[in-house]
Amino acid sequence: MLLVNEIIEKLKDVLSADGKIGKVFDKDVAGALGLSQVNFATMKNRSKIPYDKILDFCALKKISINWLLYNQNPNSLLDSTDKYWIKYFPSVNVSAGGGAYEDDDTYEKLEVPPYFINMLGGSENLKNIDAINVVGDSMEPTLNTDNIIFLDISKKDFAKEGIYAFTTTHGLFVKRIQRRVDGKLDVISDNKEYPLQIIDKSDLNILGKVIGSFGMVY
């Protein structure tokens, strides 16, 4: 993967090719990514890559994420990435609550590099994978805010412990779920600052099991 400074230079090249007059500065890249200049400077100094912002940028500009992050020739990816993609819902935020899946026409096609295929259950399972965003700190350090998580929507049986996305009357959440001997469920935040919750399984609707994530580690 390219270094942060190299990625920033490539982003500047993209913005310059869009017809921007004059030199492209860091503040222009920050604006294109939807970041404040302060957040952008902090990210750059810490060599952190805002994957969610870059994915949105690539989707908007219709450029290959593999070209931007790995300097791969887009033409060499046509056979693979044209076949392998999943649904990404950029407007869906899970964990803090209040989110929900939108209509099917609101998703974007997120290209999946071949080396991610096995992690997501193989090429035949990609139809069952949705990608959504994490907000909040309740699942730190396992999941951090702005991570993108991959849900296998075919896995809704929580007989085994795992991290699941689910809805309740209070919104959309991602938590670790364990079945209790009395049939109820322990809903666990990996951040120990949040208390354990015990609920009836009838009080939640499982959307899918989290099988992977993509984003910065703090």
Domain stops at, among 25, 50, 78 = 78
- Identity of the residue numbered 93: N
Pairing of strands 85-94, 129-134: parallel
Q: How many CA atoms lie less than 13 Å away from 128 in the CB half-sphere?
A: 18
Specify whether 147 is located in the same domain as 131: yes
Does the pTM exceed 0.85? no
Condensed to tens digits (0 to 9), the pLDDT of residues 19-34 reads: 655 688 899 889 989 8
Specify whether 122 is located in the same domain as 201: yes
Question: How much is the average pLDDT of 57-65?
Answer: 79
Q: Do residues 3 and 47 touch, judged by C-beta distance below 8 A?
A: yes
**5, pLDDT greater than 50:** yes
Average pLDDT along the chain: 82
- Structural domain containing residue 74: 1-78
User: What's the angle, vertex CA 73, arms to CA 30 and CA 151, rounded to 5?
Assistant: 65
Specify whether 100 is located in the same domain as 205: yes
Condensed to tens digits (0 to 9), the pLDDT of residues 112-133 reads: 877 788 889 988 899 899 999 8
Q: Between these two residues, 7 and 215, which has the higher pLDDT value?
A: 7
- Helix H, strand E, coil C: the string for 40-85 is HHHHHHCCCCCHHHHHHHHHHHCCCHHHHHHCCCHHHHHHHHCCCE
Condensed to tens digits (0 to 9), the pLDDT of residues 137-167 reads: 899 999 988 888 999 999 988 778 899 999 8
Specify whether 137 is located in the same domain as 68: no
Which residue is listed with tokens 């076949």?
83
pLDDT, position 179:
92
Specify whether 40 is located in the same domain as 102: no
Q: Is residue 34 left, alpha or beta, with left meaning phi > 0 and alpha meaning psi from -120 to 50?
A: left
pLDDT, position 59:
79
Domain stops at, among 25, 55, 78 = 78
Cα(129)–Cα(212) distance, rounded to whole angstroms? 10
Specify whether 130 is located in the same domain as 204: yes
pLDDT, position 79:
45
174: part of which helix (H) or strand (E)? strand 171-179
Specify whether 144 is located in the same domain as 209: yes
Specify whether 58 is located in the same domain as 95: no
Condensed to tens digits (0 to 9), the pLDDT of residues 68-119 reads: 777 765 554 444 445 678 888 877 877 644 455 544 457 788 888 777 888 8
**205, pLDDT greater than 80:** yes
pLDDT, position 16:
80
Domain stops at, among 52, 78, 104 = 78
Whole-number Cα distances in Å, 121 to 21, 33, 95, 118, 124? 46, 31, 24, 5, 8
Specify whether 14 is located in the same domain as 116: no
Query: 74: domain CATH number?
Result: 1.10.260.40
pLDDT, position 96:
47
* Tally of domains within the chain: 2
Q: Where do runs of H (alpha helix) occur along the chain?
A: 4-17, 26-33, 37-45, 51-61, 65-70, 78-81
The candidate with the shortest Cα–Cα distance to 210, out of 117, 159, 148, 126, is: 148
